[in-house]
Amino acid sequence: MAKGDEPLTVQDVVAASRRRTGKGGPLHSPLYEWLWSHHGVLAPELNPPRTPNWHEMAATFAEKGLLDARGQTPKGLTVRRTWQAVERDKGIAAGGTVRKPKRGRTTPAEATPAPEPPTNAPIDPENPYGFRTMGGVKSPPKKEDQ
């Protein structure tokens, strides 16, 4: 039978869809694929208010031979981050939009507003800006004042 005469199977198409060209490995690790396929059962156990033991989960995956994207036995941090990726991707697949958490500086809307000074407090002419003193001790007088 010639190459073009062989019947096309679903397995052939699935295998082709997962092949990558150039740099990079498979689209997702075996760990990701397993977490994705068992998401419905795992979500109530792995999401808040629960606090899963990621290190024990990683040890269980390692015992069963499930590997991360690098082909190594997963660590607890890898399992947690992979679960977070599955959660994010499941949300996107369900038609939701998922915001990435902001890192670094906060925007003015997120910043804590400065406290407002009391309006009825008398203004001290020697300290018009209301700076506090160290233990009630005032600064030494300036040379001009002596």
Q: What type of residue is 40?
A: G
What pLDDT is attached to residue 54? 93
Closest CA to 46 of 90, 100, 83, 92: 83
Tokens of 30: 């075996």
The rounded percent of the chain whose pLDDT value lies above 70 is 67
Residue 21 has pLDDT above 60, yes or no: no
Instruction: Give residue 53's pLDDT.
Output: 93
Residue 66 has pLDDT above 70, yes or no: yes
pLDDT band at 1 (very low <50, low <70, confident <90, very high): very low
User: Model confidence at 82, in pLDDT bands (50, 70, 90)?
Assistant: very high
What type of residue is 80?
R
Two structure tokens written together for 97:
């939009």
Phi, psi dihedrals of residue 137, rounded to the nearest 5°: -90, 130
Tens-digit pLDDT profile for residues 83-107: 999 998 888 777 766 555 566 665 6
Confidence of residue 9 (pLDDT cuts 50, 70, 90): confident
Measured distance CA(82)–CA(76) in Å, rounded: 10
Higher pLDDT, 87 or 131: 87
Q: Where are the domains of the chain?
A: 25-93
The DSSP code for 33 is H
Average pLDDT over residues 52-57: 93
Q: Model's pTM, two decimal places?
A: 0.52
